[in-house]
Amino acid sequence: MVTISVREPHALLVDTREATAPGPGEVAISVRRAGICGSDMHILHGSNPFVTYPRIIGHEFAGVVSALGAGVSHLAIGDHVVADPVISCGHCHPCRTGRSNVCAKLQVIGVHRDGGFRSVAIVPEANAVKIAPSLGFDVAALAEPLAVAANVLWRTACTRDDVVLIYGAGTVGITVLQVAKMRGARCIVADIDADRLERARTFGADLVVHSRERSVGEAVAGELDGLVPSVVIDGAGIPALLAEACRLAAPAGRIGLLGFSPAPCNVSQQEIVRKELTLVGSRLNRRFIPEVVGWLESGALKPAGMITQTFPAQEARAAFDLVEQHPERTLKVQLAFDA
């Protein structure tokens, strides 16, 4: 089978290996489509603090169940599925309180254990979410990043009454934009790239701000009926944006952080207390993938336009080079595995 792994930082390997059989409680997935995520790039660069090497990467993937391990009872060979990469213990305090995405013994497929960038991936039965055969594998593979967006909007309690300011019009920002718009919120997207902002318009942004040409604060003042953002989402992962987010957020506003830069940033306690702001982190997703699959199957979300390039899996090096060297040309690059 074709396998894409990172042996050590900066060492991407594309090779052929024998497929392994699923163990008890596991299923084998014949992978059809898999998306390259920013965290895969971080693993390649050696900047993901959670990964262990060597590692078969990839956590956004969909395919067909091709083999069952002992004890599997809810799936059958031939079922179409998408992977949920979050593996949790089910017993610790976060798991017991519905926060399995920050399980004390968390493992992430493609980070702590081998992932989906291979012709046949092995996952626990609970991590293979059944999808309708009518749903394309390319769209299904977008369920995981959309679930990440659903998680941060759950953490910030976003509703149709909110104005959402999203920093960054890359993959993270565009997924947040789509889910927020589906919920009826009005959305402002800020970025330094004009082409990305134009793409945000096509996904329904009510206002876009080229932050190299106009400050975000100036742009939102007086716009959208004079409402200031009640929810701010940092999809860019730039520490300096947090102080601005606190300044721009409305009283009783909520700020959600999706990045994980270790760099410190200045935050005014006075501003947080004065407005009674809520500041939350958001990691992965707390079992939102089945709900996202429902949105995709019903057409409530139509994210296919996010897929900007598709490469055969054997050409993974070229795909990674494109993401690395021409980020302005990419939004979501996917790998296609042979059926």
pLDDT digits (tens, 9 = 90+) for 166-181: 999 999 999 999 999 9
Condensed to tens digits (0 to 9), the pLDDT of residues 285-318 reads 999 999 999 999 999 999 999 999 999 999 999 9
H-assigned helices in the chain: 38-45, 93-96, 137-140, 143-155, 171-182, 194-202, 216-220, 241-248, 269-275, 289-298, 316-325
What is the mean pLDDT of the segment spanning 123-149? 98
The whole-number pLDDT of residue 228 equals: 85
Residue 114: closest CA among 26, 187, 180: 26
Whole-number average pLDDT of the chain: 95
pLDDT at 151 over 70: yes
The whole-number pLDDT of residue 189 equals: 96
The whole-number pLDDT of residue 246 equals: 94
Q: Which residues contact 182 (CB under 8 A, 6 or more apart)?
A: 295, 300, 301
The whole-number pLDDT of residue 166 equals: 97
Percentage of the chain lying above the pLDDT 90 cut = 88
Q: Cα–Cα distance between 285 and 244 in angstroms, integer?
A: 26
Q: What is the CB neighbour count within 10 angstroms for residue 79?
A: 18
The whole-number pLDDT of residue 225 equals: 64
The whole-number pLDDT of residue 224 equals: 60
Residue 61: closest CA among 88, 29, 17, 107: 29
pLDDT at 136 over 90: yes
- HSE at residue 83, side-chain half, CA atoms within 13 A, is 33
Percentage of the chain lying above the pLDDT 70 cut = 98
pLDDT at 339 over 70: no
What confidence tier does 76 reach under pLDDT thresholds 50, 70, 90?
very high
Which of 338 and 149 is assigned the larger pLDDT?
149
The whole-number pLDDT of residue 84 equals: 98
The whole-number pLDDT of residue 34 equals: 98
Condensed to tens digits (0 to 9), the pLDDT of residues 205-249 reads 999 999 999 999 888 876 566 678 999 999 887 888 899 999 999
What is the mean pLDDT of the segment spanning 315-331? 95
Q: What is the CB neighbour count within 10 angstroms for residue 265?
A: 11
The whole-number pLDDT of residue 265 equals: 84
What confidence tier does 203 reach under pLDDT thresholds 50, 70, 90?
very high
pTM: 0.95
* Residue linked to tokens 């004079």: 226
- Helices 143-155 and 289-298: crossing angle, nearest 10°? 110
The whole-number pLDDT of residue 187 equals: 96
What is the mean pLDDT of the segment spanning 323-335? 94
